[in-house]
Structure formats: C-alpha cells, structure tokens
Structure 1
C-alpha cells in the first residue's frame, strides 16, 4: 500500500532509512513529498536554497541500487538540510550575508561528505542568523528574511541554526546539520521542540570530535563546531555515528544515573519554562534518576571571562582564513562586513574589526579558560556525575524583532536583558569549556510553546551523553508536530 503524505512526514530519520533500505518506501517518492512540503511552507523562511533537480537525481540513484547495496548505506535516501555557513559543493554557502550570496564552494565540508557517502541527500541549504552571530535567526539580508517558528510564526525559532531547526520541526526534513559556537544548535532545538547536539571540541586537537577545517564560515576556531540536529536524540546518534565512525550507543538504564543540577542555570527562569522543566524532573526521578544539586558558584564568572574575548578576537583572523582558503568573492573581512544587512550583526562586526577585546584575549584563552575547564571537570569527578541537566534556555520563544533583529527581553516582568545574553546564559558554558551538550524536548508550556532540557557531559563522553539523552527521550517522549 502506498505511503500517505502524512505517513511520510511523520517519519524520523531512523524510520525513513529503514523504510527505504527495505524497499517499502522509494527515495524518489519521499524526496518529492518533502520538496513539495518545503515549497508549501516557504513563508517560514527555513531555507535559502532548495535543491530540486539534484535531490531527485540522488534519490533516483538510491532507488536504482540493489537491496544489498542499500543495506550498506546507513543513511540510504535520507533527505537533510545543511546550514548555509557549511561548505557544500555545487550549492551556495553564503552564511546568510550579502557579500557571499551565490558563492559556491569547490568541496563539501568533511562532515557533509561523510553523510552523503552514507547515502544522505542534501535537500537544500538552511537559513540562519547572519554570519552566525546571533540567537534569533532574524536575518535582514535581502535574499533571506527572518526564520519563523512553526509553533507560532510571529516568534523566533532561536539561532543561529534556526533554519535547520525549523525545517526539521516543520517536517520539511527529518534531520540536518547546524553549527554551534555558543548554543546555535541547542537554542533553536529547544525553541522548536527538536533535538540538537554540540559535540566535544576540547582544546581543538585530538579532543575535537568533528574536523571541518576551513569548511565552515567561522566565528571562533576555539569554540565553533558542526553539530547534527533532528527530531529525536536517536537520530542525532545515527548522524553522529556516521560522521565519526562510532559504533552503537552504550546500553544504560535510567535508574541510578547521577545527574547534577547546577544552581546558577536554574535561577531566573521564566515561570512557564521552569514549570515544564520541574515536571520533567519529577518524571525522571520517579524512574530512578538521582539528582544531585551542585552549587557551581564560580561558573558564570569563569565563563564570562572567556566567551566574549575569544569570539570577538578570533572572528577577524578566522573569517579571513576561510575567505582566502575558499577563494571567496570578497577577500577581506572589512569588505564583507561593509555589506552586512542585519543591524545587530553589523554592530558586532564593528567590535570585531576594532578588536575591542583583543587585550583580554591572551588571559581569556590561557588563564581563564583552563580554569573553567578544570572547574567543570572537577565537578563531574567529585560528585561522580554522569551529566549536568538544566533548561536549555531561560525562556520560551519571543516575538521577532523586525527593526533591530535582537534587542531586549524581559522575563516575567524583570528588568530587560539583552536578548542574546538571556538565551545564551545556559548554553554558553559548554561551548566555552569545550564539553559536549545536548538539547532535547522537555514538554510544552500552557500556551503551546516547546521547552528544552540540556544535558552536558564530560569531555569525550559524547556517545554516553547521547545514550543518556535517548533514555530520557524514551521517558519524556517527543512533542506533537506544529499545526501548519
């Protein structure tokens, strides 16, 4: 019996691959359904490029393979989207900024290539916050526009990987790739009811889980990484395994897991977010999870001494290196910055070009960051923790700011906060210290907005962290699809 459109749209990445490998679903039918879905939902501004002919041709090649060959492809026929700052051969990589519009790299980023080699099909490039320097995905570039949250199109979806998250939440694709510097896979995952993963980066050497040198329009080589995004943690594990060659997830039970609750990341939450998060804790505790309150009173101070100086100082040299390595149409950061369309990003690049935090960089990288890393590692070790747990964001999605892109928000009537600071507070420490972080859905507010929980794990324990996420997901469930 043919698959209905609704049945196809409901498939997770793992389910879709199994159906295509078994011959129960043709990749061409599935791709055609998702391309039609993308066209029908173009008002969400999730995509900057839709790969019509190329995606259908790739699907035809998958369908033409014998069953034995399909079985060897772990992502056989899986449609994905790729954030528009990740290099893709034959497809635009613009980072959502006018100076790079229409630029086509010569080669795929290694992470993209591994997915394609495993049978994945790139359906298109995903919209984003311009140059990844923001958490709203409100893009003022003429070729894009603000990415809209499918649960309420007047609200932000989070960023900077907002287009990837929206494409997944809106059932345009089951999975995709984003990037994460301070929270850019995890924040949009939390606000759109999906799952987002930031893999280990450590100090950038052997500890770095994904290696994509000069293949992503950067912010900071110390903090940047590609990260998979999907509707389930199990699908994140599937993509992570393909990118890294890792085996099956370790088996574990919820009962007896020791999960730390860092006090600073549970303070100042929007009431509706805290209500959902606390309800999830109650369910997990009933299943045997042991929650361990941890003070971590130095966390915010140590993190604050590192994040800004590293990102603002490294951006200029790192972007220049990408422009040169990729023979981009603009050859200087100043030329690229002169054409930035989003007011909030233009202001940040004024600071980048002036290197306003340059005098703080050496101390941030060589003194404060090692202290933060040691502090976090000691917390895991001394408390025998399997992970840390907290709400991914302090508040649910907020209205799109069509004038400034990113201004201020107030949490339950408290004094206004810078929007970026408000949403980054909980995700940034994992980015700064280089440990893996995972956001998964916790539930929905009374007004129908998604809330995410973040799990952070010890450096290098990525597969175990994903296994914990899968166990949490099996208990907490996935969120209903948005009504579109």
Structure 2
C-alpha cells in the first residue's frame, strides 16, 4: 500500500502501530514523514530537540525485524515525544531552564524505557513551561522560547506540558509523554483538543501508578507524575497499558455509569465554554449516562489549605535530590534559580527559596491532605459514583504573554484574575488528592482567529485509572473527536 503524507499524519497511535506491525507501513517512511512535519512547523516551537538520525535509525531497526518479531512489540515503530523534564538517554533533559541546558542523562526514565522496550521511537524532546512551574508554556529561556497553540499560534497551548500537546495536536507525532503536578497534562490537552491522563499517585508509594524515581526534574514528590498524551483515549490507554503492564481495555457500558457533576467546578465558567460543556452533557445523558448533581461546596477551600504549602516547600529538597542523583551540571537549587529566564517562574522560586509556606507544610500533609482525600472518597462512595465530570478549564486558550510568561486574564469581561489560578482551579484538587484524572475534548468555541478547543475532565477514585480510561472510551464515542487544526 502507498500512503500519502496526509494519510500518515492522520493515523492515530493505535492505527500506526497496527499498520507497521502488519507490514503495511514502513516505520522509516512514517518517521521521515513526521520529521518533515516537525521541520515544517518549527514556528510552533513544540520541540526543544528533534532527533533526526536517532529516530530514523530506530525506525530502520524496526523495519528489519520479521513479522513475528514486530507482532510481539505493542508499540512497534510508534514515534513519540517526551517532555523535556523527563530523563532520556542520549537526549538533552533541560526542563526548559538555562542552568540545565545541554544536560544529557545516563539512562531513560522507567516510563520512557518501557515505551522504548515495546518498540516506540523517541522522535524528540518537547518544550515546556520553564521548570514545569506554570500553565502557559510561554518559556522565555533563550534555548526554548514560547510554545504556540496549533489552533491559534498567538495563544497559549496550556502547560506545563504544552510542547507535547502542541506536537500531538499539530500531527507532528501521534502520542507522547508529559508530566502533571497540578494540571500539566490535562490543561494543555484541553486547550489543544487532545487527551491527557494524570495517573493515580495516592500515597506516593504502593498507590503510585507510574514509578519514575529521580528520573523527572521535580516540583513535588507528593504531586508529580508522568502522564501519557495522545489524540484519542484508546491511544492513551495503549501507552498506559505498556507502562503498567496491563492488557487491552474494553469500553465501559454506558447504561451502568453514574457520573457526578460537582457544582463548584461548574461555576464561574466562560459562557462559551459552559455552553459547549453542557451540550456535551446532553449528549451523554441522551446516550444513557446517569448524571448526578453533587454539592462538594467545601472542595476548593480544602484544596487551598494543601496546594501552595506543598508546591512552595517540596521543590527545595526534591530538586536538590534530583540534581545530585543525576550528576547534573547545576549543583544546587539556588544555582538553578539564579539563571531562571521566565519572570513568573523566577518569582515562584524566590518564594520557594524563602520557604514561604514551610510552616504550613506539615499541617497540610498530616491534616488537610488526608481530609481532602477523605472528602473525595466519601463523595464517590456515598453517591455510588464511577467518576466526577466537569470542564477541565474555566476558559479556552488566551493570548500568550511573551514578556512575562504568564499574566492576568478576564473571564467574559470580569475582573482580572491570575492566569495560573484561572486555569488550575478545576484540575488542582485531584492533583492534591492523588486521584486519577482524564481530560478529553468536548468541543470547540469561537476565537478571534477561528475555533479553539475546550475539554471535559473525568476524575475517579484512587487506583481506578483503567476504569476511568474505559469510561473515557465510551464518552469519546458519544462526543466524537475534533478535526485537525488548520495549519
């Protein structure tokens, strides 16, 4: 079969793997097509590294395998991008910050290694918000620069995994890895019209779904996790299954689903986002999903007692430990902070180095985080809920601020609010509770220069990741997928 460029670019991860394993598509041809796509779309600044030689050599190795050997590789020939804060052997891992520029780890992060062992090919490293401390991916480090949203290059793609999401939405790759601390896979997934999973973290030990110790430039061991991103839920489930060792996943039966609608998460939305989101609810209800309105009126107040205390205290020890374990060129957090290029990240690290919330940390961890986790557990149990459902973000992508990295935004002409606060509000509580979250597209709103994606998020009980993905499969079939952005 002869594949056109457009046919190759529209392949989902699952479709590409199926074609390569069956011998209908050469991995080297597919990788060459995506390399050309990446080079043609450099204006999006989605990648910090494009590994042309390494990716082509890996693809050629896949093509030399026999049919039986390819059939045993779940990701045979699948090109992926990896966020630039996740360790990759032979490729720079800089976290988008000057002090780590040029640093090359000795080995892959475990999550990356499992993908590679299954036949995946690392096409390159994805750009990101500097040190993952932001939700815009407007990186002002000279070697990185701002990531641009493929739907409107003058707008943010979301962050901090904005390069991964932009590359996937732009058809540079079908899938990749991001990281999520407070919303960093889910927010860019929503703003770029793709799918992003935040896996369970739970207690950070046996309840942690992905184990990547000292293999990701950290913010918080309590909240950080690697997360797969792709254009479809099936593709995210494919990557998750490889990383965790799970097999194929069946779609959840819609008629048996009880989905909670937490009232606070549906308040204060941009009108256009709310309209699209409620239209999606109508489709789900018509398909037989039971939607259950619930209160959870105290959830944001509980979360506020946890979030900043952790985010502004844990980076000190966690980043220092990563620097030492990886023999990084910077030897201290202070050395990294001194060279931060983005004003919003520099301001955050000034507070971190001052340990601005250190006195609140122990109380947050021993009192308020357990209460937040209990609040979620009781809600799921008392209402018999499979998951919670709400708009991933309160508004669609806003124009990027190339001077500061982040700014203030207004929702439908209301008073200006902090950009991070506006976008993190709905994603942050699940992060602090350690429960899984899945963001998937719900539709398009009209922007100044054309349509912009918005998304819905499903949050489930701790450890319910595969069940959450099965529900996502059903919802994706009902809601449909988004077209490619016009590039």
Classify the TM-score, shorter chain.
over 0.9
User: What's the counterpart of residue 269 of structure 1?
Assistant: 269
Query: Match of 2:155?
Result: 155
Task: State whether residues 334 and 353 of structure 1, in contact with CA within 8 Å, keep that contact through their aligned partners in structure 2.
Answer: yes
Instruction: Check if 1:208 corresponds to 2:211.
Output: no
TM-score, normalising length from structure 1? 0.99
For residues 74-473 of structure 1, the aligned pairs below 5 Å read: 74-447=74-447, 448-473=451-476
After superposition, give the CA deviation of every residue in 1:178-236 in whole Å (9 maximum; x if it has no partner).
00000000000000000000000001011000000000000000000000000001000
CA RMSD of aligned residues (A): 0.6
Q: What is the CA–CA distance in structure 2 between the aligned matches of 1:317 and 1:252, rounded to whole Å?
A: 41
Q: How many residues align?
A: 484
After the TM superposition, list the runs of 4 or more consecutive aligned residues in structure 1 that deviate by more than 4 angstroms. none
Name the CA distance, whole Å, in 2 between partners of 1:311 and 1:220. 6
Write the distance in 2 (CA, Å) between the matches of 1:322 and 1:281: 43
SS of residue paired to 2:330 = coil
1:255 partner SS = helix
- 1:100-146 CA distances to partner (integer Å, 9 max, x unpaired)? 00000000000000000000000000000000000000000001111
Give me the whole-angstrom Cα distance separating, in 2, the residues matched to 1:465 and 1:251.
10
Structure 1: segments with no counterpart, 5+ residues:
none
Measure the CA separation in 2 of the matches of 1:336 and 1:458: 36
3-state SS, counterpart of residue 19 of structure 2: helix
| Displacement after TM superposition at 1:251 (Å) | 4.5
**1:391-449 Cα distance to aligned partner (Å, 9 max, x none):** 00000000001111111000001111100000000000110000000000001013311
Give the structure-2-normalised TM-score.
Answer: 0.99
Shift of 1:255: 1.8
Match of 2:481 among 464, 478, 481: 478
SS of alignment partner, residue 449 of structure 1: strand
- 8 Å Cα contact 2:251/2:474 also seen in 1: no
d(CA) in 2 for partners of 1:26, 1:313: 49
Partner-residue secondary structure (3-state), 2:107? coil
CA contact (8 A) 1:250 1:464 kept: no
Aligned twin of 1:52: 52
DSSP-derived class of the 1:155 partner = coil
CA apart distance, 1:256: 3.0
CA–CA distance in structure 2, aligned partners of residues 278 and 42 of structure 1? 36
